[in-house]
């Protein structure tokens, strides 16, 4: 069954923007949220130009009450078929000079923000016996990384939670998928000063994700060479990992 109502957080740039444009088409209702009004409006207008019905909402995923109200309102407008909990950060709003604040911000947005996006709607999807929820993790979510402790740990948690939800509700009609991208061009990766292997354009990443969701893949990890490396890295003994991490660049 083709998707009719798709909700995407963090839709004003990067993968979120690319996904919104990839799904935009006549007969599709898009509910898009972000924190930057100008960028979100530009994305929403491009989606409307492609024939989609679009609701744009300026909202912080950490605002639990506001997120719940928006999600329920959008589901009442038209039952949500797919939620993509995409909003996330790799560095705190206070910058690297405030390590504690940065760490707390990363966990709040990447983990609590994801929960605020999916928990209000999951019971409704289960009661309907259908629905799909996609959680944005990362290839960094296969193991805690010394180069980005908070970011990788938050993505490890998202990945594990998504996999657990998928198994728990597989017989209730709820599809749960975890997305684990490598480096994709975005405002986040633009801040990186180190080499990013196999850096991918947003539209290509969006096509890979859309195809994986259509196939209901448990984990959509790409590009495949880096996904394979991440899986192998997760299996390595800690002593070997410690040696490798000495040459890895620090993100936080």
Instruction: Kindly state whether residue 137 falls inside one of the protein's structural domains.
Output: yes
The residue segments making up the domain with residue 127 are: 5-245
CATH no. for residue 94? 3.40.50.720
pLDDT at 196 over 60: yes
Instruction: Kindly state whether residue 189 falls inside one of the protein's structural domains.
Output: yes
Instruction: Kindly state whether residue 208 falls inside one of the protein's structural domains.
Output: yes
Q: How sure is the predictor about 198, in pLDDT bands with cuts at 50, 70 and 90?
A: confident
Residues above pLDDT 70, as percent of the chain:
90
Give residue-wise pLDDT tens across range 13-39.
Answer: 999 999 999 999 999 999 999 999 999
Instruction: Kindly state whether residue 250 falls inside one of the protein's structural domains.
Output: no
pLDDT at 210 over 60: yes
Q: The pTM is what? A: 0.90
pLDDT at 194 over 80: no
The tokens describing 122, both together, are 């999951």
Give residue-wise pLDDT tens across range 106-128.
Answer: 999 999 999 999 999 999 999 99
pLDDT at 193 over 90: no
220-226 LR contacts (CB < 8 Å, sep 24+): 220/177, 220/178, 220/179, 220/180, 221/139, 221/180, 221/181, 222/180, 222/181, 222/182, 223/182, 223/198, 225/198, 226/139, 226/182, 226/183, 226/197, 226/198
Number of domains making up the chain: 1
Residue range 83-96: average pLDDT? 77
Instruction: Kindly state whether residue 35 falls inside one of the protein's structural domains.
Output: yes
Rounded distance between C-alpha atoms, residue 76 and residue 68, angstroms = 12
Instruction: Kindly state whether residue 135 falls inside one of the protein's structural domains.
Output: yes
pLDDT at 94 over 50: no
- Residues tagged active-site: 151
Query: What pLDDT shows up at residue 183?
Result: 87
């Amino acid at each position: 069954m083709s998707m009719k109502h798709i909700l995407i957080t963090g839709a004003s740039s990067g993968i979120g923007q690319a996904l919104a444009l990839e799904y935009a088409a006549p007969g599709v209702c898009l509910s898009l949220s972000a924190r930057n009004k100008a960028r979100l409006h530009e994305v929403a207008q491009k989606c409307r130009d492609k024939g989609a019905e679009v609701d744009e909402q300026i909202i912080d995923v950490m605002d639990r009450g506001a997120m719940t109200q928006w999600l329920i309102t959008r589901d009442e407008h038209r039952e949500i078929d797919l939620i993509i909990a995409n909003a996330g950060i790799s560095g705190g709003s206070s910058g690297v000079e405030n390590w504690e604040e940065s760490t707390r911000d990363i966990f709040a947005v990447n983990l609590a923000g994801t929960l605020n996006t999916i928990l209000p709607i999951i019971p409704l999807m289960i009661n309907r016996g259908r629905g799909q929820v996609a959680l944005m993790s990362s290839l960094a979510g296969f193991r805690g990384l010394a180069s980005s402790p908070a970011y990788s740990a938050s993505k490890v948690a998202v990945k594990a939670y998504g996999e657990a939800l998928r198994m728990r509700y597989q017989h209730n009609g709820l599809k749960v998928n975890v997305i684990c991208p490598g480096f994709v061009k975005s405002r986040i990766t633009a801040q990186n000063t180190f080499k990013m292997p196999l850096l991918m354009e947003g539209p290509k990443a969006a096509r890979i994700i859309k195809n994986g969701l259509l196939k209901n893949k448990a984990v959509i990890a790409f590009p495949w060479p880096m996904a394979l490396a991440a899986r192998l890295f997760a299996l390595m003994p800690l002593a070997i990992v410690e040696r490798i991490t000495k040459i890895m660049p620090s993100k936080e």
